[in-house]
Structure 1
């Protein structure tokens, strides 16, 4: 007689019959006050002692899941009637935190003293206790209903015979006590993984045991090991997978050719980065009737990864491949990702094809999808394609067998790009970098990654295939897949962006619901302005994040009514879902019989959950790769302490300026206490710091010269000091209405860093300031849409 964990979605079983959760909730909802245990027993006439035990367990499980709240009067009530909000705790390095409500809406501020008994990642019930001066909600934690379940990574220190672990994640402010018998032999200063054995409360710190020793702090590759565990990224293949893989032949089986379109004679080619290992898309363009016929061939992953298998479950768990510099955590095992599902040259491969008819002016006229077998005629890189198009005689001779394809792809790109411009797709010319490592896996240098015409050719071909796939699924009533959705800017962000533009004498058209065309017009207006990068940065911040969901509301950034992800099932689970759905459509039509292995139709409820999950794993991967990039950049800059650089102000906060170094595209902080002998006000609307007496203004886009003052690898933070500053107009600017007493921080303001004293004990003196957000190094060399 036991109830299974509600998190695994299974139906609990009991030896005797007891009321369901729905029946218990219905009773509580009908009552005007919370319901006691005896009232449950009497109402449902539960006479058997085993029923009493069963209902207690069920009520306890409902309490744990936040469906009910156990009151001080020993009764069960509804959280919503008690004005309790369920959400996840988001910690902040300064000791306070926020509750991110599960139901949506703005975050709830959680003060320092309320954070003592919770950890970043906990799911809690919060009661709103008031509002701050800006009307934002403040709350108190009533109960932890789902403690964070992933382990914590940190550095182990010994202080007066007491072991402590200082979490690497600055959002966890409590240091973890480690009893001597639970240190697993870890040495002072090593990076370890900790499991919490006793949760913190208002009086005591958390206690834990070390479950894994990662190694020394500065060991090569340690940054990836930390990120994998800190972000809970699956990186070990499960039991039973090897047995499934052993049943998959090393070469494409002959029976798989049955019913497929044979494209092996077509000169399809792959175009990827120099260091790419998995080639999941091949392209071909041929002139036709004044326009073009485009083939986009994508590895047929769905043939090998079938629903409800260990392989499929693991692909779902991972959600996507995670690309670190010189390392990758793949979504699929190497036998598939670098073997059978990689469109290597001169070998037969199974694929799903989007064959698209494009008109002379770049309009997509028609498309069809089908399973095929192909044989790549060449593996090309972006650099080689650009050189070929620039007239490199030697390369043009080497690749003369696919030269007409490359030139047709180029002419097709020009037409597609003109359509993209006409529909006002929002496009930023962002600068990415890549790390060049030496034999010891230390960074030798950082190089800019320049996007050129070859990258854009592939990008436009992939967009065309994604649009065609979205329209196909949209045309079917009862076969669904996930769309790639990007909604328009939210009201508050849009208001802030308009206010910012107003200070520059600019205006965004479109009223309350601006279109991509309005944003495109604005970007055209600011072309050539010295503060163009500033305006683009603020525009980007006004945008929402793209997600996966079954309900199509269009892609605002690309200015498309229908958009999906079809082109990378090797490394993205949503693409695999789409391939299965397309096969289900073809199967229902009675086409390509015998070649539609893996066809699958998803129900609406299942797709909703899949969309949330895939959006989560994508954000998880982005956060992990960003963390590794931050670590590597800090490690690189340790050799440049004392060096001077030119840069541009990339962000302005109430505690200082983040400056992006021109040479390396690395961000560092100039703390407000290093800005000179003045008081500075922070203007959040105008994104500027203003000196009260000097009237000196610092704002986004200003050019500055800085010196690297200090680098702290623990906090992944680079401290800079200002040498001089020049605004884009060449003079200091003082906006109107900024006279009077400053509301901002003073020079030499207090370093309020919360409870991080143990790091200081270990000799890691931390500079004042906040953790900066830095750009992500390029992995695939393609724009994420």
Structure 2
């Protein structure tokens, strides 16, 4: 959405629009002055002068114009300026990610002194750095990042400092005595930056919130929520609305809905799930199947542009941490009125589908309904029932036929999925088992069973049906779930990785999902199969929400959307409103279609970007918490030995993924056998200069835990033994022909300074500076005494 479509400030007089001002600047061969703008548009009123000046300043802030040293307005593109976001790095340098796409620009450490991770800047390209990366020079900060920072408060020789928890923020924040607000040494705090950094001084701030003591139970979640700006508070208007909602479905909501309360719909979820947003039922029909997927009718309760809707949009999705959830909707809705709990009436939107005996979607219809879940099933119970567990089969005799029908339909859908060669990952997730003090007792694998895949296939079918509906009726307007094919760069890297393992990805420059599936099938029995699958996943693009359908590469589908989880995903709620709007257009107004909404194209673009961002935000936050908890767990295992596999090779060492625990640790290059090691980026190798020892992706290793740094979320390992996937010992043999020394020697690795080392150096410099100031002060006093 352009700025002209957003809410603009009201002016008492007419002034040129942004588009008109941009056209005026573009028409000139050189930057245009303010007086020339006034003359061009014949603006004589003083109020017009003020209004235009304000609009020009706003255009500067948004990076549309640049105010030059010659006091004129020019176009950033003509000055070779690139607008983008700063991405900091723990080692002091950074990158600028351009808004318009393309490769990131490398920002040297000196340039990073005056900016912070997350700032929006204008950057001028300065050629290539020694590694061949595009390098940039920061010209201007046009939008500062959120000024609140989560970190740990330290006091050293009366000097207060907050060390940011986010390693991408390289500058420590100086806290004056009067701005500590009761913070004690070692506590986790939120600090607001009151003075930004520059090339000579560190940022200065004040403590605005004390989260608690370091290592307190749940502190890792508190940090992640604030660090990633995840909203947790409801507006007063939302709380007031929710408070007035009844505990049961209001009588007026039943009107104009199909009554499905006798249909034996069931929910199948995890043991600890509390928000049930989908229920399913299937039965044979002719030579095929009829499938009902009933989804909670969230759109009836969450109306467009209400305070509740705005709060839900801001969150974008629910965020699931271990033993804690930040919900997209208030609990009274997410776990109550909107949750398809057993044996109670609930409002729903239904996708009723006709499926052929080959697993093809033949027809579908959508309608609002009222339902009653006939059983709250879990994945574990359904899998046991299908395996013939007699006690459970007796307990759930009333829904045995629906469960077995779903299983039979699943076999058909599974075969169709394999027929189109959708990429199937055998992912292995882990979960934390906590004790009463909320400390981790163990980390256990969570394996998917047949019940997971039954529900997955039913949901995919419903999502395809809704995507086809929206594709057919473009006027409805909604978001598709788009997964594009891998980029050429990622494809090249993945092919290089496979070549080192003697594997090949077919398909040339445009491989299909069938080509990827063939690779997975080839490696299924290999000991390094999980690693190869991980690297394949890394080669993929990230799925996004967008109003423009481009298909789903991973699922090998021409159209796909998200319809099945409106309790926890905002894009699903958008889709429900669009379907209701379409039905309303076809059938006329009725009570059941309340909440219908047609979104304009510009708003859908923004919604897609926002919902994709909140999804990434949730992923980053949960990953951060997982890393912290794994480090906390490994603190009790320092000195112990584990087996693992080399999951990543870098110029500074080897990342090892420990078997069973699925925890990554680092064998730093300085802890390898005494030698100079060179990094081969193309072949993912570390090669000893003299010993010719080679360490590569996929090698099985045995390691010992040396230390754990909880602040840095780092686990340091010592390598004890290594062997290739084929069993060849790499600790005792020399490199074979494939590992001969490369003609162009890669650069030697260097150990980056840890954050703690950087903090100590800064504290030391600050103390030295204060000492010099104190000496000058004393000398000045002595001179004044002598004069007297």
Asked if Structure 1 and Structure 2 have the same fold, meaning a TM-score greater than 0.5 normalized by the shorter chain, the answer is yes
Corresponding residue number in structure 2 for 1:534: 531
Q: How many Å separate the matches in 2 of 1:372 and 1:689?
A: 61
CA deviation vs aligned residue, 1:404-429 (integer Å, no higher than 9, x gap): 11111111111111111111111111
Following superposition of structure 1 onto structure 2, how do residues 743-758 of structure 1 map, counting pairs within 5 Å?
743-745=746-748, 749-753=750-754, 757-758=758-759
Following superposition of structure 1 onto structure 2, how do residues 674-753 of structure 1 map, counting pairs within 5 Å?
674-731=671-728, 732=730, 734=736, 735-739=738-742, 742-745=745-748, 749-753=750-754
Corresponding residue number in structure 2 for 1:284: 281
Following superposition of structure 1 onto structure 2, how do residues 354-365 of structure 1 map, counting pairs within 5 Å?
354-365=351-362
Corresponding residue number in structure 2 for 1:476: 473
* Alpha-carbon distance, 1:533 to partner: 2.8
Equivalent residues of 2:430, 2:443 under 8 A apart: yes
Deviates more, 1:239-248 or 1:203-212: 239-248
* Alpha-carbon distance, 1:678 to partner: 1.9
Report the CA distance shift for 1:719/1:753 in structure 2 as closer, same or farther (over 3 A): closer
Q: How many Å separate the matches in 2 of 1:33 and 1:599?
A: 50
Equivalent residues of 1:692, 1:742 under 8 A apart: no
CA deviation vs aligned residue, 1:275-319 (integer Å, no higher than 9, x gap): 111111111111222332111111000010010100111111100
* Alpha-carbon distance, 1:753 to partner: 4.8
Equivalent residues of 1:370, 1:592 under 8 A apart: no
Corresponding residue number in structure 1 for 2:324: 327
CA deviation vs aligned residue, 1:534-579 (integer Å, no higher than 9, x gap): 3222221211000000110100001111100000000000000011
1:408 aligns with 2:399: no
Following superposition of structure 1 onto structure 2, how do residues 59-74 of structure 1 map, counting pairs within 5 Å?
59-74=56-71
Q: How many Å separate the matches in 2 of 1:711 and 1:379?
A: 42
Report the CA distance shift for 1:42/1:754 in structure 2 as closer, same or farther (over 3 A): farther
Following superposition of structure 1 onto structure 2, how do residues 15-54 of structure 1 map, counting pairs within 5 Å?
15-54=12-51
Q: How many Å separate the matches in 1 of 2:115 and 2:174?
A: 15
TM-score (normalised: structure 2): 0.93
Equivalent residues of 1:166, 1:759 under 8 A apart: no
Q: How many Å separate the matches in 2 of 1:13 and 1:390?
A: 68
> Which structure has the larger Rg over C-alpha atoms?
2
* Alpha-carbon distance, 1:361 to partner: 2.4
Equivalent residues of 2:147, 2:193 under 8 A apart: no
1:171 aligns with 2:162: no
Following superposition of structure 1 onto structure 2, how do residues 96-175 of structure 1 map, counting pairs within 5 Å?
96-133=93-130, 135-175=132-172
* Alpha-carbon distance, 1:530 to partner: 3.4
* Alpha-carbon distance, 1:761 to partner: 8.2
Q: How many Å separate the matches in 2 of 1:723 and 1:686?
A: 23
Equivalent residues of 1:86, 1:123 under 8 A apart: yes
CA deviation vs aligned residue, 1:345-382 (integer Å, no higher than 9, x gap): 00000001111122222222221111111111111111
Listed as ranges, the gaps of 5+ residues in structure 2 are 765-788
Following superposition of structure 1 onto structure 2, how do residues 496-515 of structure 1 map, counting pairs within 5 Å?
496-515=493-512
Equivalent residues of 1:649, 1:704 under 8 A apart: yes
Structure having the larger proportion of residues in helix = 2
Corresponding residue number in structure 2 for 1:463: 460
* Alpha-carbon distance, 1:503 to partner: 3.2
Q: How many Å separate the matches in 2 of 1:502 and 1:246?
A: 61
Equivalent residues of 1:345, 1:379 under 8 A apart: yes
Which residue of 538, 558, 561 maps to 2:558? 561
Following superposition of structure 1 onto structure 2, how do residues 612-623 of structure 1 map, counting pairs within 5 Å?
612-623=609-620
Corresponding residue number in structure 1 for 2:665: 668
Which residue of 204, 222, 226 maps to 2:219? 222
1:199 aligns with 2:202: no
Q: How many Å separate the matches in 2 of 1:650 and 1:170?
A: 22
Corresponding residue number in structure 1 for 2:567: 570
CA deviation vs aligned residue, 1:236-280 (integer Å, no higher than 9, x gap): 001211222234322101221111111111111111111111111
Corresponding residue number in structure 1 for 2:771: none
Equivalent residues of 1:93, 1:172 under 8 A apart: yes
Following superposition of structure 1 onto structure 2, how do residues 614-633 of structure 1 map, counting pairs within 5 Å?
614-633=611-630
* Alpha-carbon distance, 1:739 to partner: 4.8
Listed as ranges, the gaps of 5+ residues in structure 1 are 764-785
RMSD, aligned α-carbons: 1.9
* Alpha-carbon distance, 1:52 to partner: 3.1
Q: How many residues matched?
A: 757
Corresponding residue number in structure 2 for 1:646: 643
Q: How many Å separate the matches in 2 of 1:52 and 1:475?
A: 50
Equivalent residues of 2:680, 2:746 under 8 A apart: no
Equivalent residues of 2:175, 2:205 under 8 A apart: yes
Report the CA distance shift for 1:342/1:660 in structure 2 as closer, same or farther (over 3 A): same
* Alpha-carbon distance, 1:524 to partner: 2.0
Report the CA distance shift for 1:680/1:93 in structure 2 as closer, same or farther (over 3 A): same
Deviates more, 1:329-338 or 1:697-706: 697-706
Larger RCO, structure (CA 8 Å, separation 6 or more) = 1
Partner secondary structure for residue 706 of structure 1 = strand
* Alpha-carbon distance, 1:491 to partner: 1.0
Q: How many Å separate the matches in 2 of 1:389 and 1:693?
A: 59
Following superposition of structure 1 onto structure 2, how do residues 250-649 of structure 1 map, counting pairs within 5 Å?
250-590=247-587, 593-649=590-646
Q: How many Å separate the matches in 2 of 1:701 and 1:441?
A: 35
Deviates more, 1:248-257 or 1:692-701: 692-701
Deviates more, 1:154-163 or 1:735-744: 735-744
Q: How many Å separate the matches in 1 of 2:4 and 2:621?
A: 25
TM-score (normalised: structure 1): 0.94
CA deviation vs aligned residue, 1:141-193 (integer Å, no higher than 9, x gap): 00000000251100111122121111000000001111111111100111111
* Alpha-carbon distance, 1:710 to partner: 0.7
Partner secondary structure for residue 591 of structure 2 = coil
* Alpha-carbon distance, 1:21 to partner: 2.2
CA deviation vs aligned residue, 1:630-688 (integer Å, no higher than 9, x gap): 11111111111111111111111111111111131111111111121122222212222
Runs (4 or more) in structure 1 with deviation over 6 Å come to 5-8, 760-763
Equivalent residues of 1:680, 1:742 under 8 A apart: no
Report the CA distance shift for 1:9/1:197 in structure 2 as closer, same or farther (over 3 A): farther
Equivalent residues of 1:95, 1:753 under 8 A apart: no
Corresponding residue number in structure 2 for 1:13: 10
Q: How many Å separate the matches in 1 of 2:12 and 2:572?
A: 44
Equivalent residues of 2:66, 2:76 under 8 A apart: yes
Equivalent residues of 2:4, 2:18 under 8 A apart: no
Deviates more, 1:729-738 or 1:259-268: 729-738
Partner secondary structure for residue 556 of structure 1 = coil
CA deviation vs aligned residue, 1:449-497 (integer Å, no higher than 9, x gap): 0111111111111111111111111111311110000000111111222
Which residue of 73, 77, 80 maps to 1:80? 77
Q: How many Å separate the matches in 2 of 1:55 and 1:290?
A: 70
Equivalent residues of 2:479, 2:561 under 8 A apart: yes
CA deviation vs aligned residue, 1:36-63 (integer Å, no higher than 9, x gap): 2222233333334333333322222221
* Alpha-carbon distance, 1:112 to partner: 0.3
Equivalent residues of 1:647, 1:705 under 8 A apart: yes
Deviates more, 1:730-739 or 1:167-176: 730-739
Q: How many Å separate the matches in 1 of 2:163 and 2:711?
A: 10
Which residue of 206, 223, 239 maps to 2:236? 239
CA deviation vs aligned residue, 1:91-112 (integer Å, no higher than 9, x gap): 0000000000001111000000
Q: How many Å separate the matches in 1 of 2:344 and 2:122?
A: 57
* Alpha-carbon distance, 1:231 to partner: 0.2
